[in-house]
Structure formats: C-alpha cells, structure tokens
Amino acid sequence: MFNFFKKKFADPTPAVRAEAAATDAPASMQRQSWLSKLKAGLRKTGGSIATVFIGTQIDDALYEDLESALLMADTGVKATEWLLQDLKRRVKDSRTTDPAAVKGLLVESLCHLLAPLQKPLVIGHYKPTVIMVAGVNGAGKTTSIGKLTRHLADTFRAAAREQLGVWADRNTVDIISQDGGDPAAVSFDAVSAGKARGRDVVLIDTAGRLPTQLHLMEELKKIKRVIQKAGPADDQASATDPTDASVGADSRIPPHEVLLVIDGNTGQNALHQVKSFDDALGLTGLIVTKLDGTAKGGVLAAIARERPVPVLFIGVGEKLEDLETFNAREFAQALLT
C-alpha cells in the first residue's frame, strides 16, 4: 500500500525537502513548477487580500479591510470570523507593529485552518480501489479523471520500478462505457471487470447534467448502491481472512472513495454543493478545480470551517500537470506571498 503521490510529492519538512532536492531533482522541480503555477492561479484571490497589508499601521481599519477582502474572496462569514480572531491573537502574542508581518501571521492562521483538509488519497489498500466521482455539470469531473488516470499510471509505474518488475509492462488503462446504457449498470460492469481483471483502481465518472438537482442526487445514490452490490474488494493491508465477512466487511465494499469535484470559481455555491452531496452520498474527498483565474479561492477556508471534507486534489488549469495534491501550507503561502 502506498499513499498516492507519496514518492513524488510527500509533504516534507524542510530537512527532508533539502534531501529530496538532492536525490530526486526531477520530482522537486516538478513541484516547484507546480508551486509557481499555483501562485499564479491564486493571484486574483490573494492579490486583493495582500493589498490590506501595504499600510504602515496595524489598526481597526486594517482588520476591517481584511474582513471585506476575505468575504469578497468567498471565505464566508464563519471562516472570516475565525481567521480574524486567530490572527489578532497571533499579532498580540508576537507584539509586532509591522503590517507586513501580519501578513505572515495570516499565512499561519490560514495554514492552521486548512490543515484538517489535507489528506492523501490512499490506493493499494483494496484491490481494486473503487473511486466514484460526482459533481454538477461542467465542474471538471472528466478532465480530473483523465489527469488522475495518468498520474496513477505514473505512480504505479514508479512503484513497479522500485518493487515489482511485473507491474511495469502491464497494460494500464481500460475504459468501460456504454452509449445510452443505464449509468448504474455500466458502473457495476466496470467494478466487476476491475475485480475480474485484477486491476488496482477503478474510477467511475458520472454525468452532472440532469433536469434537477434532486434527479441528480437520486441517480448518484442509485449508482452508489449498485456499485456496492458488486461485492467486497480484496483487502491487501489487513491480515484478516478475506473470506471472513464479519471482519472489516464494510470497508471492503466499494466504492472506497466518493469524491466530489467542485468548480473553485463558484465560491459559496461550491460550499453548498459540498454540503448537499455529502448529505446524499457521504463524501470521502473533494477535488477543487479551476482555482486558476478565480477571485474566490477563499472557499477552501469556508469548507474547512463549515464542512471539512478532505481536499485530495486541486486543479489550476486544463493541462495534465495542472492537477496536484493539496497541501495546506503551500496553498496558504501561494495565496499570500
């Protein structure tokens, strides 16, 4: 079992990062180029917040401006209140009188707020690991699945080189689809095929366009129920007898992950989607797309405060390399520095 992207992009302490830079230059270069992309993508959101700190005094006006800037960035009332309170405490403790230093303290507050959202996607625990992907029309589901598929193939190839030569030559991706077929039945077929063919991962794309939100939820719930009927996957991590249904039976039943893709551009509306999809489906993670060019990137803080479903990946563009794992500190720094 390994955490997705662990090899390439773990969240290293500075010491480990230095070591990684020495031994794994291409990976750290990739992460560097991702960081500059992330920074560019978040410029619109971060820019208006950063202007609050260009004055010479830390006073009520600064906090009021900051409050407006955070609300404008769709941080939401609750997260904005939390951030202001936490920041004021940090400013008091540090006894700083320099507005520029307050920006650095805001990075710390934001980092603290976002940290619970940071969680790696674990694959390899179940065989196959079944990942159902939901989201409204145009959120970026299919694009994200395409990017993930490529990353997964790379991750497995990297693991294969290091551990098991046999994985290397394996034909990596099958696509199961059926025009006009019942989505739940196609999903069931895909999971069954994944099991029969000994695949590592099954990704299930779903449609976002249905007459109403209610129709969409009902269809997604049905897809989830039908996927469950495909029966338990092999548990690769536990030492228990896989035929003993009384042990860990629930966790082996697919889908192992139910991910919601949200369009970061939709701000507070994305938060509403998280709440309603989570209520209907029991989400295990989020993919937040289109953070490039939006002024509403504060929505991640709102999610952290109001419905902290882990953010597994964030997207800042349409290209393959524009989807990456979410790291709270990177995000806070990219946003504000």
Ligand X SMILES: Nc1nc2c(ncn2[C@@H]2O[C@H](COP(=O)(O)OP(=O)(O)OP(=O)(O)O)[C@@H](O)[C@H]2O)c(=O)[nH]1
Percent helix, strand and coil across the chain, each rounded to 5?
55, 10, 30
Of these, 138, 248, 308, 310, which contacts ligand X (CB under 6 A)?
138
- Residues from 40 through 99 that contact ligand X (CB under 6 A): none
Nearer to Mg ion, 57 or 137 (CB): 137
Instruction: Check: CB of residue 266 under 8 Å from CB of residue 276.
Output: no
Q: Which two tokens stand for residue 177?
A: 């689809």
Residue 318's binding partner among ligand X, Mg ion, none (Cβ under 5 to 8 angstroms by kind) is ligand X
Nearer to Mg ion, 94 or 142 (CB): 142
Cβ contacts of 32 within 8 Å, gap of 6 or more? none
Of these, 3, 142, 149, 269, which contacts Mg ion (CB under 5 A)?
142
Q: Is 137 in the site for ligand X (CB under 6 A)?
A: yes
Nearest distance in Å: CB 266, Mg ion? 16
DSSP SS3 for 37 = helix
C-alpha span between 327 and 164 (Å, rounded): 29
Q: Is 135 in the site for ligand X (CB under 6 A)?
A: yes
Q: Is 292 in the site for ligand X (CB under 6 A)?
A: yes
Nearer to Mg ion, 140 or 267 (CB): 140
Q: Which two tokens stand for residue 325?
A: 């794992």
Of these, 195, 252, 290, 307, which contacts ligand X (CB under 6 A)?
290
Question: How long is the chain?
Answer: 337
Q: Is 208 in the site for ligand X (CB under 6 A)?
A: yes
Nearest distance in Å: CB 225, ligand X? 21
C-alpha span between 76 and 104 (Å, rounded): 21
C-alpha span between 101 and 64 (Å, rounded): 17
Of these, 46, 120, 128, 140, which contacts ligand X (CB under 6 A)?
140
Instruction: Check: CB of residue 256 under 8 Å from CB of residue 129.
Output: yes
> Alpha-carbon Rg of the chain, whole angstroms?
21
Instruction: Check: CB of residue 130 under 8 Å from CB of residue 255.
Output: yes
Residue 276's binding partner among ligand X, Mg ion, none (Cβ under 5 to 8 angstroms by kind) is none
DSSP SS3 for 280 = helix
Nearest distance in Å: CB 264, ligand X? 8
Q: Is 141 in the site for ligand X (CB under 6 A)?
A: yes
Nearer to Mg ion, 183 or 310 (CB): 183
DSSP letter assigned to residue 140: S
Nearest distance in Å: CB 35, ligand X? 16
Nearest distance in Å: CB 94, ligand X? 36
DSSP letter assigned to residue 118: B
Residues touching Mg ion, count (CB under 5 A): 2
DSSP SS3 for 103 = helix
Nearer to ligand X, 266 or 284 (CB): 266
Instruction: Check: CB of residue 311 under 8 Å from CB of residue 289.
Output: no
> Site map for ligand X, 315-334, x if CB under 6 A?
xxxx---x------------
Residues touching ligand X, count (CB under 6 A): 20
Q: How many Cβ atoms are within 10 Å of 101's Cβ, its own excluded?
A: 15
Nearest distance in Å: CB 275, Mg ion? 22
> Site map for ligand X, 253-272, x if CB under 6 A?
--------x-----------
Q: Which residue has tokens 């998280």?
A: 274
Pairing of strands 201-205, 323-325: unpaired
C-alpha span between 37 and 22 (Å, rounded): 23
Nearest distance in Å: CB 230, ligand X? 23
* Residues contributing to the site for Mg ion (CB under 5 A): 141-142
- Residues binding ligand X (CB under 6 A): 135, 137-143, 207-209, 261, 289-290, 292, 315-318, 322
